[in-house]
Structure 1
Amino acid sequence: MDLKGKKILLDPGHGGAHPGKTHKDRQEKDVTLKISKVLENLLEEEGATVYMTRTRDKDFGGESRDEDVNERVKYINKKYAGKGIDVLLSIHVNTDRLVSRVGVLYPEKGKASKILAQNLARKYGTFMANTGYGEADLAILRDTKVAGAKALIETGKINQSWYDDDEEVERAAFAIVAGFYDYFREIE
C-alpha cells in the first residue's frame, strides 16, 4: 500500500505576528514550518496529495493568537471545502516546562480522529519516547469541517536541540508518515 490518492492537509502552527513558543532564538512558527515542509516532501514521495495552510511565515489575521486561530479555521473551511481531505494534521511544539507533553490530540467524539491519533502516537513514539494521545477541545480540531480525521501533534519541547538537526527533523517526519500508513491500513 502507498499513499496514492490520499489527501493530507498540513497546518504548520502559528506564524507571522504569532510566533508561538520561543526558546532563545528558536520560534515555534519556524520549527513547525520546517517540519511541515520535510513532511510534505516525504508524503508526496509516497504518492499523497499534500496541501499546506502556509508555506511561509505568515499569520491569518486577528489581534491575538486566539483570533488568529479562528481566522485560520475560517480559511481552512473555505479554501479546502469540497477537496475530499482525508486527514488534517496541525503541527506544533510545546513549551519547555516540565509538565508539558509530547503527543497527539484529537477532537472529542472523533472516532476516525482517535484512530489517527493512536497510530500517530504509536509511530511517533519510536522517535520521541512517552508520546501519548488524548482528546482536546481546540478550535483547529473542533471547528474545521474539511477532513475525515483531524489531529494536532506536539512534536516536542521548544528547548530541544534536535529541531536544529535536519536528520533528526527527517526522522520525526518519517515517524509521522509511518503513523499515516498505519492509520489508513486500519480504516480501510
Structure 2
Amino acid sequence: MDLSGKKILIDPGHGGEFSGKTYKGRQEKDCTLKISKALENLLEEEGATVYMTRTRDKDFGGKNLDDDINKRVKYINERYSGKGIDVLLSIHVNTERLISRVGVLYPEKGKASKILAENLARKYATFMGNTGYGEADLAILRDTKVAGAKALIETGKINQSWYDDDEEVEQAAFAIVAGLYDYFREID
C-alpha cells in the first residue's frame, strides 16, 4: 500500500508574529515548519497529495493569537473546501514544563479523528515514548470543515534538542507517516 490518492493538509502551528512556545532562541513556529516540511516530503514520496497552510514564517493577519487562529480556520475552510482532504494534521510543540505532554488531540465526537489519533499516537510513541491521545475543544479541530479526520500533534517539548537535528526531525515525521498508514489501513 502507498498513499496514492490520499490528500493530506498539514498545518504548521503558529508563525509570523505569533511564535508560540520559545526556549533559549528556539521557537515553536520554526520547529513546526521544519517538521511539517519533512512530513510533506515523506508523504509526497509515498504518493500522497500534500497541502500546507504555510510554507514560510507567516501568520494569518490576526490582531492577537486567538484572532489569528480564527483567521487560520477561515483560511482553511475557504482555501481547501471541495478538495476532498482526507486528513488535517496540525503540528505543534508543547511547553517545557513538567506537566505538558506529548500527544495527539482530536475533536470531541470525532469518530474518524479518534481512530486517526489512536494510530498516530501508537506510531509516534516509537519515536517519543509516553505519547497519548485524547479529545480537545480547539478551534483548529472544532471549526475546520474540510477534512474527513483531524488531529493536532504535540510533537515534543520546546526544550528538547532533537528539533535542531535534521535526522531526528525526519524520524519524527516518519513516525507520523507510519501512523497515517495504519489509520488508512484501519478505515479502508
Give me the TM-score of the superposition, normalised by structure 1: 1.00
Give me the TM-score of the superposition, normalised by structure 2: 1.00
Provide the secondary structure at the position in 1 that maps to 2:40: helix
- The corresponding residue for 1:172 is 172
Provide the secondary structure at the position in 2 that maps to 1:10: strand
Provide the secondary structure at the position in 2 that maps to 1:89: strand
Q: Deviations over 1:27-71 (max 9, x none)?
A: 000000000000000000000000000000000011111100000
Q: Which runs of 5 or more structure 2 residues have no equivalent in the other structure?
A: none
Residue 33 of structure 2 is aligned to residue 33 of structure 1: yes
Distance 2:64 2:105 in 1: 23
Distance 2:62 2:184 in 1: 36
Percent identity of paired positions between Structure 1 and Structure 2: 86
- The corresponding residue for 1:98 is 98
Deviation at 1:162, TM superposition (A): 0.4
- The corresponding residue for 1:59 is 59
Residue 134 of structure 2 is aligned to residue 134 of structure 1: yes
- The corresponding residue for 1:13 is 13
Letter paired with 1:142: R
**4+ residue runs over 2 A deviation:** none
Provide the secondary structure at the position in 2 that maps to 1:153: strand
Distance 1:167 1:58 in 2: 25
Map 1:122-161 to 2 at 5 A.
Answer: 122-161=122-161
Distance 1:11 1:116 in 2: 16
- The corresponding residue for 2:116 is 116
Q: Deviations over 1:70-107 (max 9, x none)?
A: 00000000000000000000000000000000000000
